[in-house]
Amino acid sequence: MTLTLTTDKDTAIAVITLDLTTDKDTGVAVITLDRPDRHNAIDLEMRDQLVAAWRELRFDDTVRAVVLTGAGERAFCTGLDREVVVPQPGSPYMMDDPLLRVGPKSNDLWKPVVAAVRGMACGGAFYLLGEADFVVADPTATFFDPHTTYGMVSAYESMLMALRMPYGEAARMALMGSAERLSARRAYEIGLVSEVTEVGGALAAAKECAAVIAGYPAEGVQGTVRALWAAKEAALDRAFAQAPHLIALGNLPGERQAELFRARRRDHRVR
């Protein structure tokens, strides 16, 4: 995938997938995770393109609000692609997390980001949802974190979700692993999701919100985004400092994780 420039003449709304489509008149951009055959799982190429897109949007003053979504009906994003090999430094004091800088706030973008979720959002998807300003969900949306099922520590993901929902709900989602999924309705009830639309309506609803926000003076909007993030970034910074050590101590070896993944249960409860 490469970033290419085209124009959407029908919607008059800028559309960024990990191909780039933009219309300078509306002030709204849409980033679409476009690997539906892999449930929009993030490989290293997509990761690099996301970082490039966020960084590029910092300099494009014609874009004043962003919508983040996933292609297809089955998934918003299922986190890091399990086939990705992530090179690691040969030292116990250094660890590279491939998704740690994948979100907008991590790339110093203070334009508002609205997430539109359809289908599954799990695991590493929370790096993105955790840095969105609010989430609009299709009724088909489900949220879950399978890390513990596969012998992995849910660290960064759980830390981000603990600041978006009640602690007990974040803990239950992390600890129940792949056995249980949070429905769109329950996600709305606990505040993870701000709106549940009709089937197929999440993207349109998110665009409508973004268009309203993009019509306001950018300085006030971006200052508000920065202020809201400031309210929780100190807690995140302290939590994130612990994450590499917790992961190093708690993660099973890769071979054992793979065994657990192959033996995973296929049934799950939706609540």
| Strands laid side by side in the 75-77 sheet | 75-77, 120-122, 142-144, 180-183, 269-270
pLDDT at 16: 45
Q: Residue 52: helix, strand or coil by DSSP?
A: helix
The domain spans of the chain are 5-202+210-270
CA angle 101, 204, 114 (to 5 degrees): 25
pLDDT at 67: 95
Q: What is the pTM of this model?
A: 0.90
pLDDT at 192: 98
pLDDT at 14: 41
What is the CA 77 to chain-centroid distance, rounded?
7
pLDDT at 11: 42
pLDDT at 20: 54
For 164-176, how does the pLDDT look when each residue is reduced to its tens digit (9 = 90+)?
999 999 999 999 9
Give the pair of three-digit tokens for residue 169.
């709900």
**DSSP conformational letter for 100:** T
Q: Give average pLDDT by consecutive 10-residue segment, the chain, 271 residues.
A: 38 46 77 94 93 94 95 96 84 84 97 98 97 98 97 97 97 97 98 98 96 96 98 95 93 91 89 94
Any bridge partners for residue 143, and if so which? 121, 182
50 Cβ contact list (under 8 Å, min separation 6): 18, 31, 42, 102
Which of 3.40.190.10, 3.90.226.10, 3.10.20.30, 1.10.290.10 is the CATH number of 5-202+210-270? Answer: 3.90.226.10
